[in-house]
Amino acid sequence: MMYAGKVSRGRNDGSDKARNKKYVLRRLWDYLYYYKAKLFLAIFLTIVANVLSLVGPYLTGRTVDAMTDGVDFEKVYLFAGLMILFYGISALLNYILAVAMVRISQSVVYKMRKDLFAKLNRVKISYFDQNQTGDIISKMSYDIDTINTSLATDVVNIFTSSITVIISFVMMIIMSPILVLVFVITLPISIVITRVLSKIVKKQFRYRNQKLGELNGFAEEMITGQRTIQSYVQEETVLEKFDEINEEATHAAYRAGYYASSVGPSIGFVSNLSVALVGVFGGILYFLGSLSLGNLTSFTLYSRRFSGPINQMSNILADIQSALAAAERVFRVIDEDEELKDHKNAIHYQDVKGDIKLDHVSFGYLENQVVLKDVSLHANQGQVVAIVGPTGAGKTTLVNLLMRFYEIEQGEILLDNINITKLTRASLRRSFSMVLQDTWIFHGTVFENIAYGNGDVSRLEVEEAAKKARIHSFIKHLPQGYDTVLTDEGLNISKGQKQLLVIARAMLSRTKMLILDEATSNVDTHTEVQIQQAMLNLMKDKTTFVIAHRLSTIQNADIILVVKEGNIVEQGNHLELLEQKGFYYELYQSQFA
């Protein structure tokens, strides 16, 4: 079995603005600035803690000078005591800073995760058609966790390193401007190495995250389809494909880690070289009398402090690049196009009657690939309209257009003689109840699942709906009846039982229009016959659109639309279409001959 997962059509080329490092950093800063009070407190603590820490090398030099020509114990004790005090306060402030940054990072990722989830509720339905579920979940969990880890540690390290480099450089100039020339040679080498390797590392981490998303998406699809995979004895084929994707992800992770880990040793070598040169030339200046032993000691310590952050920056480069790559993926979703907003004069329509017209409607999911071609139909209030045809003919597309999940390209759709584009989407969609082939049961009680979307309904109303859907008896035999929690792990419910729960949910609906998309596809023939009367009660006084492959379920429909290759090739009631002996007649004969 070949891997048939959805192909991501998201923008993955380098032209995507979310791949711009400055843009990503600005977006991250916007999230940090949202908590500016905590952020500025953290910056203040960082500055004070590092300034106190950087007084240490200067005091060390003064201590050495106090012991050069005889030991001045008073000065030695004073300087030693000050060092202990400053280092102690610095350590305490660093502890407070670490706790503060954890709180800030948690606040940022909370808001980011909230924004991402909110955006997923506003994007076009086409986004979910074009992206794997596993990849979307990976952005919600793995990518945001990566950002969280980086914010909690790397931001502090960046501030700390910047302050340390600046203060150390100023102090080195004060101690010996001549020795600073050593870094004129070594510093550019460090910068060049860092810049070159950072570009490679960022690219490798972006590729690694992409491959991990593909791996998650494939695993999610295969785990969901285990019953089918085992039924067709395709375990080995799936394992081979998983091995292939897993190998690609592992190789991508290895390359990212390889280049990231090579930065530290490279910069470390240059850093150690600079310290060695400081020792050699500083010793010469000391013997020439141009530099005191205390200043040489302080300069050496400051040079270590100066070189250390550069080395530290290279060590945290992998985390930073990984976080930037993760942030790109998250912001790419947050920047996705949303459903078009309702016009400012859009009508919040409530007095729905249920008269539907499609007037010369044409539509295609992709450019130059028309799915529906010049379709016209009229469903009077309370009529049952059945839509039949072969797979891919455009039946479900009609439903997507009625609900405005997609916008039509030509023609218009009218509800009670009002163009649906003039209505708010919320009021339009509340006018419909839906029972789909793909049932959705969420983690919650049976009562909550049936009552979902129907407002404040009583237990009695829910039980009546369940009885009409022929699921009441099954529910009563559950461990806690209507209070039984439905979970994937805790309760094994068949697809047919899930479908009946969804039908019961629709029974509670007070809408004037109903969509049944293969609503009994997961119900056996015997059960289907049992709930026919309940379905008729459900459709009573409602304009109903029924999509069905079983022609036995739509023989009593007022209008049957026969869709083929995007066109309505026939329409009429069951007997009229049989008399025509056209495509509907062929479908009927194929099922009942």
Q: Which amino acid is at 339?
A: E
Q: Say if residue 250 is in the same domain as residue 399.
A: no
Sign of CA dihedral 368, 369, 374, 375: negative
Could you tell me if 147 and 323 are in contact, meaning their C-beta atoms sit under 8 angstroms apart?
yes
What is the structure's pLDDT at 392?
67
5 lies in a domain?
A: no
Q: Say if residue 269 is in the same domain as residue 410.
A: no
pLDDT at 592 over 60: yes
How do residues 443-471 score in pLDDT, each as one tens digit?
Answer: 888 898 888 887 788 899 899 888 888 88
Confidence of residue 212 (pLDDT cuts 50, 70, 90): confident
pLDDT at 420 over 60: yes
525 lies in a domain?
A: yes
578 lies in a domain?
A: yes
Q: Say if residue 321 is in the same domain as residue 360.
A: no
Q: Say if residue 320 is in the same domain as residue 380.
A: no
Q: What is the DSSP letter of 561?
A: E
How do residues 390-417 score in pLDDT, each as one tens digit?
Answer: 776 677 788 888 888 888 888 899 998 8
- What's the mean per-residue pLDDT of the chain? 80
- The strand pairing partners of 414, in sequence order, are 357, 419
**Helix H or strand E encompassing 327:** helix 317-334
Task: Decide which of 394 and 110 is more confident.
Answer: 110
What is the structure's pLDDT at 7?
32
587 lies in a domain?
A: yes
pLDDT at 369 over 70: yes
What is the structure's pLDDT at 310?
67
CATH of the domain at 31: 1.20.1560.10
Q: Is residue 177 packed enough to be buried (19+ CB in 10 Å), middle (13-18) or exposed (0-12)? A: exposed
Task: Decide which of 366 and 58 is more confident.
Answer: 58
Could you tell me if 150 and 322 are in contact, meaning their C-beta atoms sit under 8 angstroms apart?
yes
Q: Say if residue 273 is in the same domain as residue 399.
A: no
Q: Say if residue 322 is in the same domain as residue 461.
A: no
351 lies in a domain?
A: no
Nearest-5° Cα angle at 165, 163 to 171: 100
Domain end (from 278, 299, 334): 334
168 lies in a domain?
A: yes
What is the structure's pLDDT at 490?
41
pTM above the 0.75 mark?
no
How do residues 232-266 score in pLDDT, each as one tens digit?
Answer: 777 888 888 889 989 988 998 888 888 877 777 77
pLDDT at 440 over 70: yes
How do residues 504-559 score in pLDDT, each as one tens digit?
Answer: 888 887 788 888 887 666 667 776 776 676 677 777 788 888 887 767 667 788 88
What is the structure's pLDDT at 76?
83
What is the structure's pLDDT at 534?
66
Could you tell me if 357 and 527 are in contact, meaning their C-beta atoms sit under 8 angstroms apart?
no
Q: What whole-number distance in Å separates Cα of residue 471 and Cα of residue 500?
A: 6
CATH of the domain at 494: 3.40.50.300
Closest to 8 (Cα-Cα) out of 184, 172, 167, 210: 210
Q: Say if residue 96 is in the same domain as residue 243.
A: yes
CA dihedral 311, 314, 318, 320 (to 10 degrees): 110
pLDDT at 14 over 70: no
In terms of residue numbers, what domain contains 568? 356-592
HEC string for 287-304? HCCCCCHHHHHHHHHHHH
pLDDT at 428 over 70: yes
Q: Say if residue 330 is in the same domain as residue 360.
A: no
pLDDT at 196 over 60: yes
What is the structure's pLDDT at 92?
92
- The strand pairing partners of 366, in sequence order, are 369
pLDDT at 9 over 70: no
- Looking at the structure of the chain, the number of domains it has is 2
pLDDT at 18 over 70: no
73 lies in a domain?
A: yes
Q: Is residue 87 packed enough to be buried (19+ CB in 10 Å), middle (13-18) or exposed (0-12)? A: middle
Q: Say if residue 206 is in the same domain as residue 302.
A: yes
Least confident span in 20-29, 79-88, 102-111:
20-29
What is the structure's pLDDT at 593?
60
What is the structure's pLDDT at 393?
66
What is the structure's pLDDT at 97?
85
pLDDT at 489 over 70: no
Q: Is residue 168 packed enough to be buried (19+ CB in 10 Å), middle (13-18) or exposed (0-12)? A: buried
Q: Say if residue 233 is in the same domain as residue 150.
A: yes
How do residues 331-358 score in pLDDT, each as one tens digit?
Answer: 888 888 777 777 788 888 888 888 889 8
Q: Say if residue 184 is in the same domain as residue 63.
A: yes
Task: Decide which of 304 and 77 is more confident.
Answer: 77
Average pLDDT in the 580-589 region? 84
Average pLDDT in the 218-224 region? 80
339 lies in a domain?
A: no
Average pLDDT in the 20-35 region? 80
Q: Say if residue 437 is in the same domain as residue 327.
A: no
How do residues 65-102 score in pLDDT, each as one tens digit?
Answer: 778 777 778 888 888 888 899 889 989 988 888 888 88
Q: In this structure, what token pair is assigned to residue 203? A: 């690219």
What is the structure's pLDDT at 371?
79
How do residues 129-161 score in pLDDT, each as one tens digit?
Answer: 777 777 788 788 878 888 887 777 777 777 777
